[in-house]
Amino acid sequence: MKISALIVDDEERARNVLRLILNEYLPFVIINDTAGSVQKAHQALEKQQFDLIFLDIEMPGFNGFELLEFINQDYTKVIITSAYSEYYKQKIENLNLPSISKPVEIDQLLKLVHHLFPERENHH
């Protein structure tokens, strides 16, 4: 089973690093699109449904929280990927969404993805 994913992060380097890690360690996670802003992510979501979204919080213009309103979390899982400030930390915890801080630690990322998609656990 392939998992279609969207990476939302205003930093191109962060998007590229995450893509490289996923390609190497979680090849069943297919990056169907990336977005450098909430607006671009919104456009991607209008065109396609994703199984998983890696969502940065602190971005210029709109922040990642504003994108959450457009995501149907019954179908799409969200992992917050952010070098977030203390200001956002409590808000993220209140949302009860899995989060990983940047720079992304590979072991933590693997655990989170396998936790969200347990049916993939034994198919490395």
Domains of the chain plus CATH, in order, are 3-120 (3.40.50.2300)
Strands 52-55 and 3-8, sheet pairing: parallel
Tens digits of residue pLDDT in 82-99: 876 677 777 888 888 899
Q: How is residue 70 annotated by DSSP?
A: T
Q: Would you state the torsion angle of the CA atoms of residues 33, 37, 41, 42, taken in this order, to the nearest 10 degrees? A: -160
Residue 82 three-state SS: strand
Scored b (16 or more CB within 10 A) or e, 107-121 reads eebeebbeeebeebe
Tens digits of residue pLDDT in 2-18: 999 999 999 999 999 99
Q: Please give the helix or strand (H or E) that residue 54 lies within, else none.
A: strand 52-55
* 3-class SS shares of the chain: helix, strand, coil, % to 5: 45, 20, 35
pLDDT over 60 at 123, yes or no:
no
Radius of gyration (Cα) for the chain, nearest Å?
13
Tens digits of residue pLDDT in 19-66: 999 999 999 999 999 999 999 999 999 999 999 999 999 898 888 999
- The whole-number pLDDT of residue 84 equals 65
